[in-house]
Amino acid sequence: MSEGHRIIPISPASFRRRAARLPEKDQQGASQVAPTEGIASFAESTDTPPLDQRGRPLRDLRISVIDQCNFRCGYCMPKEVFHKDYVFLSRDELLSFEEIVRLARVFVGLGVEKLRITGGEPLLRKGLEELIKELSALKTRANQPVEIALTTNGVLLAQKAKALRDAGLDRITVSLDALDPALFRQMSGIEDSAPATVLAGIDAAQAAGLKVKVNMVVQKGVNEGEILPMARLFRELGHTVRFIEFMDVGNSNDWSQDQVVASSAVIAQINAHFPVLPVGRATPNEVSERWRYNDRPVEIGVISSVSKPFCGHCSRARISSEGLLYTCLFASSGFDLRQAVRTETDDQILARIIHGIWTQREDRYSELRESLMAQKKNRPQTRAKIEMSYIGG
């Protein structure tokens, strides 16, 4: 590989397909997310783990294994956009397990210590346990086992928890936005869904020996009333719930600032019933700030991407299920690692490509959100961004 090798950021297939179906004026917007310039050049060496332009290391890799989902959460995959004719990625477009493992090995060589499997709904990917088994054999640069986590909506968890654990999965995050059955159905967008299914999945995960956390996206005017019931239940069960501010990811969810419940309000509400004390972050690059109940060793967490951005220590890279690398959840374009992994036989070359991309990274979208919103009259949805269901949480 010559030093002049370049890798060009491109937009995902889903953008390109949607662009083709959009009216002409919107197609122009979509084409802007497929820049043909903007280049990551090679670093000289991969012996030293890369630091980005803001001095941040590469520590976490989130791997989306599928862009499809069995839910249609309004804040992520609203039915009007992700309808029955929506074209998801084909099997050929997805990275194979072999390709994922190879890329993961290269990332781990560059300093990644945690892998998170996500989607879409990752439990819909057939044979996922085989992938987890392969990934769990990886060792960090310090020769420690790589931590393997997975985020799921929990629908298929009761039947899969034990096999996932046996394959080497360490921890699981289960998304649950409401305990009230009617509200749960409304938020999942699926008529025959039920919180009891997710709760059974959580029980099965715990019984299988997985460390469990619960994610709840809080949307003003939708599920604020579920904050206390969720806190109450999971402090009894002993699982951490992480309350997530509704984020302006993607362009489908019709986000606006006035639908966000600030984490400070969530904590105040819980504290008034079940007093909590701040614990801070376990590590600077952790996304959630933690609090502990005064009367028991159970924690809650808040993820405050909107009210209190945490880009300063962001060490996360993401790979879409078709193999595009994104250095920010709010990116417009990614770097085509699928082509690289399918054409380059030498892992050193892949390492140099990724090293070069990370070294040039400048992302800090959440820190810039307010000023971007001011420019766009509080509607940053006018900027083209990848969808959460495409890249994973």
Residues 6+ apart with CB under 8 A from 16: 30, 34
The nearest distance, CB 348 to ligand SF4, in angstroms, is 27
Should residue 328 be labelled a site residue for ligand SF4 when binding is judged by CB under 6 A? Answer: yes
Burial of 349 (0-12, 13-18, 19+ CB in 10 A): middle
Name 78's Cβ contacts closer than 8 Å, sequence gap at least 6.
72, 189, 252, 253, 254
CA nearest neighbour of 242 among 262, 265, 213: 213
- By beta-carbon proximity to ligand SF4, the closer residue of 190 and 298 is 190
Q: Distance between CA atoms of 133 and 144, rounded to whole angstroms?
A: 16
Residue 75 binds ligand SAM (CB under 6 A): yes
| Whether 248 contacts 255, CB under 8 Å | yes
Can you tell me the distance from the alpha carbon of 7 to that of 11, in angstroms, rounded to the nearest whole number? 13
Contact pick of 14, 46, 152, 252 for ligand SAM (by CB under 6 A): 152
Interacting residues with ligand SAM between 178 and 237 (CB under 6 A): 215, 217
364 binds, among ligand SF4, ligand SAM, none (CB under 5 to 8 A by kind): ligand SF4
Residue bearing tokens 């990332």 = 107
Segment (H or E) for 2:
none
| 249: partner contacted, choices ligand SAM, ligand SF4, none (Cβ within 5-8 A by kind) | ligand SAM
In the bound state with ligand SAM, the residue whose beta carbon lies nearer, of 110 and 149, is: 149
Q: Given the complex with ligand SF4, which of 111 and 120 has the nearer CB atom?
A: 120
Residues in the chain: 393
**Among residues 329, 340, 354, 384, which is the contact residue for ligand SF4, using CB under 6 A?**
329
Name which of ligand SF4, ligand SAM, none residue 46 binds, using a CB cut-off of 5 to 8 Å depending on partner kind: none
Q: Mention every residue, 6+ apart, whose C-beta is less than 8 A from residue 24.
A: none
Under rule CB under 6 A, which residues in 23-82 are in contact with ligand SF4?
69, 71-73, 76-77
* Pair 33, 13: CB distance under 8 Å: no
Q: Residue 356 binds which one of ligand SAM, ligand SF4, none, with CB within 5 to 8 A depending on kind?
A: none
Looking at the Cβ atoms of 161 and 249, the one nearer to ligand SAM is 249
Residue 345 token pair: 């036989």
Q: In one letter, which amino acid is 40?
A: A
Position 153 contacts ligand SAM (CB under 6 A): yes
Closest CA relative to residue 230, chosen from 190, 253, 202, 206: 202
Residues of span 85-144 touching ligand SF4 by CB under 6 A: 119-121
Give yes or no for a contact between 250 and 221, defined as CB atoms under 8 angstroms apart.
Answer: no
Token digits of residue 354: 């990724």
DSSP calls for 27-51: HHHHHTTS-S---BPPPS-SSSPPB
- Give φ, ψ of 232 to 5 degrees: -60, -50
| 225 Cβ neighbours under 8 A, 6+ residues apart | 180
Residues 243-262, mask of contacts with ligand SAM (x by CB under 6 A): -x-xx-x---x---------
| Contact mark string toward ligand SF4, 170..199, x via CB under 6 A | -----x------------------------
Amino acid letter for position 326? Y
Residues 84-113 that bind ligand SAM (CB under 6 A): none
Nearer to ligand SAM by C-beta: 201 or 393? 393
What DSSP designation does 262 have? P
How far apart are CB 120 and ligand SF4 at their closest, in Å? 5
User: Smallest distance from the beta carbon of 220 to ligand SAM, in angstroms?
Assistant: 12
Name which position in 14, 46, 175, 288 contacts ligand SAM (CB under 6 A): 175
Residue among 50 and 120 whose Cβ is closer to ligand SF4: 120
Q: What x/- string results for residues 280 through 319 when contact with ligand SF4 is judged by CB under 6 A?
A: ------------------------------xx--x-x---
d(CA 32, CA 25): 11
| Binding-site ranges for ligand SAM (CB under 6 A) | 69, 75-76, 118-119, 121, 151-153, 175, 215, 217, 244, 246-247, 249, 253, 388-389, 392-393
| Binding-site ranges for ligand SF4 (CB under 6 A) | 69, 71-73, 76-77, 119-121, 153, 175, 310-311, 314, 316, 328-330, 363-366, 388-389
